[in-house]
Structure 1
Amino acid sequence: MQQDILINWSPQETRAAIVENGVVQELHVERELQRGLVGNIYLGKVARVLPGMQSAFIDIGLERAAFLHVADVWQRDQGRERREEEGERAQLTPKPIEKLVFEGQTLMVQVIKDPLGSKGARLSTHISIAGRLMVHLPRDDGSIGVSQKIPLEQRDALRQRVQQLMETLPPEPGLDRPGGYIVRTNAEDAPDADLQEDMLYLRKAAARVRQAARTQPAPTLLHQDLNLMQRVLRDMVDEHTASVRIDSRTQHAALLAFGQAFMPNAVQKLALYSGERPIFDLYNIDEEVAQAMGRRVDLKSGGYLVMDQTEALTTIDVNTGGFVGTRNFDETIFKTNLEAAQAIARQLRLRNLGGIIIADFIDMQRAEHREGVLAELRKQLQRDRIKTTVGDFSQLGLLEMTRKRTRESLERMLCEPCPACQGRGTVKTPRSVAYEILREVLREARQFHPAEFRILAAPQVIDLFLDEESQHLASLSEFIGKPISLQAEGLFSQEQYDVVLM
Structure 2
Amino acid sequence: MNVTDCFLVYDHLEIKGHPFMVLACFRESDKKLIYIRYFDQSRKSLVGNVYSARVEKKVPGVGVFLVIPEGHAFVKEKDAKNPVYIKRQSPRKELSEGDLVLIQIKKDAIKTKEPEATFSIELSTPYFVIRRPGSGVSFSKKLKREDRERFSQISLEKSSLLIRTAASRLDENELYQKISSENKKLEQIFSDGKNHTSPALVFEDLDILNTLLTAFPFAANRLNVTKIKTGDTDICEKLGSCGEFYKDEGLSLLDLYRIRTITERLLSKTVWLSSGANIIIEQTEALTVIDVNSARAKKSLPVSVNREAAAAIAEQIRLRNLSGIIIIDFMKMSSDDERGQIISLMRSLTKSDFAKVNVEDFTKLGLLELTREKIFPSVKQTLTSVLHRDIISDVDAQ
State how far apart, in whole Å, the 2-side matches of 1:32 and 1:418 are.
13
State how far apart, in whole Å, the 1-side matches of 2:38 and 2:386 are.
19
Distance change in 2, residues 1:354/1:221 (3 Å):
farther
Question: Which structure 2 residues correspond to residues 189-204 of structure 1 after superposition, within 5 A?
Answer: 189-204=169-184
Match of 1:4 in 2: 7
Task: Specify which of 344, 349, 355 is matched with residue 386 of structure 1.
Answer: 355
Task: Specify which of 244, 247, 251 is matched with residue 274 of structure 1.
Answer: 247
TM-aligned CA deviation for residue 106 of structure 1: 0.9
Is 1:407 the counterpart of 2:376 in the alignment? Answer: yes
Match of 1:181 in 2: 161
TM-aligned CA deviation for residue 302 of structure 1: 1.4
State how far apart, in whole Å, the 2-side matches of 1:248 and 1:359 are.
41
Task: Specify which of 154, 162, 172 is matched with residue 162 of structure 1.
Answer: 154
TM-score normalised per structure 2 = 0.83
- The answer (yes or no) to whether the contact 1:356–1:401 under 8 Å persists in 2 is yes
- The answer (yes or no) to whether the contact 1:24–1:285 under 8 Å persists in 2 is no
Match of 2:291 in 1: 317
State how far apart, in whole Å, the 2-side matches of 1:283 and 1:3 are.
14
Choose between structure 1 and 2: higher helix proportion. Answer: 1
Question: Which structure 2 residues correspond to residues 18-417 of structure 1 after superposition, within 5 A?
Answer: 18-20=25-27, 21-51=30-60, 53-63=61-71, 65-75=72-82, 100-140=94-134, 142-151=135-144, 153-154=145-146, 156-158=148-150, 160-163=152-155, 166=156, 178-226=158-206, 230-234=210-214, 236=216, 239-241=223-225, 243-256=227-240, 267=242, 270-276=243-249, 277-326=251-300, 332-416=301-385
State how far apart, in whole Å, the 2-side matches of 1:402 and 1:286 are.
29
Paired-residue identity, %: 25
Say which SS state the counterpart of residue 215 (structure 1) adopts.
coil
TM-aligned CA deviation for residue 206 of structure 1: 1.0
| Count of aligned pairs between the two proteins | 369
Say which SS state the counterpart of residue 322 (structure 2) adopts.
coil
Distance change in 2, residues 1:184/1:296 (3 Å):
same
TM-aligned CA deviation for residue 3 of structure 1: 3.4
TM-aligned CA deviation for residue 235 of structure 1: 5.3
- Range with bigger deviation, 106-115 or 231-240: 231-240
Say which SS state the counterpart of residue 385 (structure 2) adopts.
coil
Letter of the 2:268 partner, please give it: G
CA RMSD, Structure 1 to Structure 2 (Å): 2.8
Letter of the 1:117 partner, please give it: K
State how far apart, in whole Å, the 1-side matches of 2:66 and 2:143 are.
37
State how far apart, in whole Å, the 1-side matches of 2:286 and 2:372 are.
13
State how far apart, in whole Å, the 1-side matches of 2:93 and 2:285 are.
33
Say which SS state the counterpart of residue 45 (structure 1) adopts.
strand
TM-aligned CA deviation for residue 408 of structure 1: 1.8
State how far apart, in whole Å, the 2-side matches of 1:355 and 1:178 are.
36
State how far apart, in whole Å, the 2-side matches of 1:340 and 1:363 are.
13
Letter of the 1:320 partner, please give it: S
Distance change in 2, residues 1:240/1:300 (3 Å):
farther
Distance change in 2, residues 1:227/1:415 (3 Å):
farther
Letter of the 1:42 partner, please give it: Y
Question: Which structure 2 residues correspond to residues 448-467 of structure 1 after superposition, within 5 A?
Answer: none
Letter of the 1:135 partner, please give it: V
TM-score normalised per structure 1 = 0.67
Match of 1:93 in 2: none
Distance change in 2, residues 1:147/1:295 (3 Å):
same
Structure 2 unmatched runs, 5+: 84-91, 392-398
Task: Specify which of 23, 38, 49 is matched with residue 16 of structure 1.
Answer: 23
**Greater RCO (Cα-Cα under 8 Å, separation 6 or more):** 2
State how far apart, in whole Å, the 2-side matches of 1:323 and 1:10 are.
36
State how far apart, in whole Å, the 2-side matches of 1:130 and 1:271 are.
24
TM-aligned CA deviation for residue 278 of structure 1: 0.9
Letter of the 1:355 partner, please give it: G
TM-aligned CA deviation for residue 182 of structure 1: 0.8
Query: Any idea what the Cα deviations from partners look like across 1:254-284, whole Å, max 9, x if unmatched?
Result: 101xxx6xxxxxx3xx422223311111232
State how far apart, in whole Å, the 2-side matches of 1:226 and 1:356 are.
35
Distance change in 2, residues 1:394/1:348 (3 Å):
same
Distance change in 2, residues 1:381/1:2 (3 Å):
farther
- The higher radius of gyration belongs to 1
TM-aligned CA deviation for residue 371 of structure 1: 3.0
Letter of the 1:29 partner, please give it: Y
Query: Any idea what the Cα deviations from partners look like across 1:115-151, whole Å, max 9, x if unmatched?
Result: 22211122211221113422111211x3111111213
